Amino acid sequence: MACNSITSYVPDCGKNTKAGVNSDVYLIAFSDLAPFSGSTDVYTVSQTGLISGINLKTGTTKYVKYGSVVNQASIKEDYTYNDNGTYDIQKSLTFTLTNLGSVGGLTAVQNLIANPVAALVKLRNGTWISFGLGGGLMTKTVAGTVDASSNSRVVTLNESSTDFLQVVDPTIITALLS
């Protein structure tokens, strides 16, 4: 089964789309990224340790704005050393998709189910970080809420790898976003 490309989600105007907005989350289907020539990786790292390139499969497919990180505690990484001498780093990204009661909101969350994605998030300090460039970032939980202060779905994406969260060179961001 081929995974669907991630399309932009635009909340309906004039409806209760209230959500705390601090940092935007941009997503792309991992299947819309391609390895660099001579490599199996879809990204490159500079000598300074920044992600210096992310290879898009086509010229028209780019990361799309998908939701908002409500607070910086929504970005987590946990390093665990295992008794067998290996280690694992669990990373999670929790963000809000507004307007639970719209067809667009439903489609947006359905596009995430069983579809590996990659994410870019701009932190409050202006730094961009990436998730999922190894192909393992998947939806772990989705919880919807409608009340006096919220009309949204909270989505948590999770991945396990041996890499810590990586900072992205800000000079490549514009070319990656739609």
Instruction: Give the pLDDT confidence of 7-17 residue by residue, as tens digits.
Output: 665 554 434 34
Domain boundaries, the chain: 23-176
> What's residue 15's pLDDT?
40
Instruction: Name, of 30-39, 60-69, 70-79, the range with top average pLDDT.
Output: 30-39
| This model's pTM is above 0.85 | no
CA dist 10 → 14, 61, 97, 146 (Å): 12, 17, 10, 18
- Rounded distance, CA 58 to CA 28, Å? 12
